[in-house]
Structure 1
Amino acid sequence: MSLAVTVVHACQRAGRGGSPTAVVDEARLSAAERCAVPVAAGTSHAVFISTGEHGEGRPAVSLRFFTAAGELPACGHGTVAALAVLAERARTREYEAVLRAGGRTFLGQATGGDHRYEAAFDPGPVQLRTPVAADRQPVLSALGIGPEQASVRCRIASVGRPRMLVRVPDRQALAELTPDMTRLRDACDRLGLLGCYVYSTPSPDGRAAARMFAPSIGVPEDIANANSTACLAAHLAGHGLSALEVDMGDSLGEPSTVTATTRPGAVGPLVRVGGTAMIIEEISLA
């Protein structure tokens, strides 16, 4: 069966980089065949889309996300990529849809045209907790962060799946990280973590850099990770920051930026996260 794939670079920075993502219409494929799509397309992730009609006249779209290692309940840059493709197909400069993924329903929007879109969505409520030292230390050790780095701060954040947020002093400390991926995968597996999102101390205006290491799902380092940035935004909302711009992908030669905003909600901050997506090409997989 021939499979049509749209390759989108999600969360670009100034028209460059971004995370290559395969967007595919839902098809009769096994889990193994779905996992093979990002490998064949040369992307880290694939998102499968199925469209319908919502009761309020807006399109309803179901999303499923896969890496080479298996299915994910959520993928932020995959959602950004899907919204760009859906907006392009709708031939409208302002697109809105009801999205369904990971057992939840939420809104997504995209604006733009000519293959380039600004997309954002509601990632859902973020749960935060502080890890105990026995859980924190194996992850920090695998990252190469010693206990002498007193500025290190850690939180466990969950939106879909939990991951550890780790703060380092600055961008230089972030760039110099050389994690032991085998040890990091073992530590994350033991704790049931998706991976580890390491970020530099944000500037007063909310600018930061980050690297997402997720060897447990077959992605040693992610070019852009929107859901983890949403988790960081929820964490920092309690410290007076309501808007973030997080640079990622520089260590991989793919400059990316994820944006997030927060506002007060009844049971915690309400987050919107997104980025710029560029539709690059259509390919066919045999």
Structure 2
Amino acid sequence: MPEVAIVDVCQRDGAGGSPTAVLDDAPFTDEERCRVPTELGTSHAVFLHPTGIERGRPSYALRFFTAQGELPACGHGTVAALAVLAERAGGDHHHRVVLRTAHRGFDGRAGRNGDGLTASFDPGPVSLRNTGRAELSAVAAGLGLTEDAVAGDACVASNGRPRLLLPVRSRAALAELTPDFALLRAVCDRYGLLGCYAYSPPDRHGRAAARMFAPSIGVPEDIANANSTACLAAHAAGFGTHRLTVDMGDHLGSPSTITATVHRDRTGHRIRVGGQAAIVRTVVR
């Protein structure tokens, strides 16, 4: 029976975070993999498979599952996997690995930070496009949001699957959102969206709040969503904000925080996203 680490990912001040299951892969069926999050009370499960040494570092293949099926990528699942790998390596302050999903390989870093672990990774390039008026109106209706509550330019961003980034006028307006999940799922399916990442505009220090709704993949609201935060970082960089700290999970009683930074090199914008994590228990299934 596999040993499963339950990791609270993207904690804020050593508490909260998104519970995520991490375990070594085995000859499971995909149906069995989908059962893990439900059985353990997590939104996602991450399956690790060592693949040897790459660029002088240990390398691992990652697969991500919700109760609805496999995902091509999962940001907070990646942070959870990095925390487990760093813990297995002895909590090295500078543990570095190469990670692979079905579509790409990338760098991941993790290590001990006081009583917890901190991890970050390269989420890859982000594509941005303008939102169609009908698309925006339909998503806003699914969130119970009037268009005059939209605080700026919405866009569709993707670093694997597209999601709508929707600015609302304040943290208070964000907290008041009351989605119709059946309607929102139908709208997202119609427009090919993973979901909607609603956020308050970053303040002058780059701090914002966000809520991620993804009923199409079986996650009505995500406690923490690192890949969408990376997408927001790419969008915000166009307006001169290169460092973000995004609070999530408060509405669900599990405060979480994700950080993202953007810098430019000869290949364009490079993003790094991550957060704090703690392995809170181990379960034998």
TM-score by length of 2: 0.97
Distance 2:55 2:185 in 1: 44
**CA-to-partner distance for each residue in 1:89-139, whole Å, 9 max, x for gaps?**
011232000010131000000021687211000000000001110111100
CA gap 1:36/1:115 in 2 versus in 1, 3 angstroms: farther
Alignment of 1:1-286 (within 5 A): 2-91=1-90, 92-112=92-112, 116-149=116-149, 151-266=151-266, 268-285=268-285
CA gap 1:23/1:115 in 2 versus in 1, 3 angstroms: farther
Which shifted more, 264-273 or 242-251?
264-273
Query: Which AA in structure 1 matches 2:156?
Result: I
RMSD: 1.3
Distance 1:46 1:186 in 2: 25
Distance 2:55 2:263 in 1: 25
Contact 1:229/1:258 (8 A) holds in 2: yes
Distance 2:136 2:118 in 1: 36
Report the alpha carbon displacement of residue 38 of structure 1 after superposing the two structures with TM.
Answer: 0.6
CA gap 1:13/1:132 in 2 versus in 1, 3 angstroms: same
Distance 2:88 2:100 in 1: 19
Describe the SS at the equivalent of 1:189: helix
Which shifted more, 12-21 or 108-117?
108-117
TM-score by length of 1: 0.96
Distance 1:252 1:24 in 2: 25
Describe the SS at the equivalent of 1:269: strand
Query: What residue ranges of structure 2 are gaps of 5+ in the alignment?
Result: none
Query: Which AA in structure 2 matches 1:40?
Result: E
Contact 2:150/2:167 (8 A) holds in 1: no
CA gap 1:150/1:177 in 2 versus in 1, 3 angstroms: closer
Which shifted more, 237-246 or 138-147?
138-147
Contact 1:84/1:116 (8 A) holds in 2: no
Identity across the alignment (%): 57
Give the number of aligned pairs.
284
Report the alpha carbon displacement of residue 268 of structure 1 after superposing the two structures with TM.
Answer: 3.9
Query: Which AA in structure 2 matches 1:80?
Result: V
Distance 2:79 2:31 in 1: 24
Report the alpha carbon displacement of residue 152 of structure 1 after superposing the two structures with TM.
Answer: 4.4
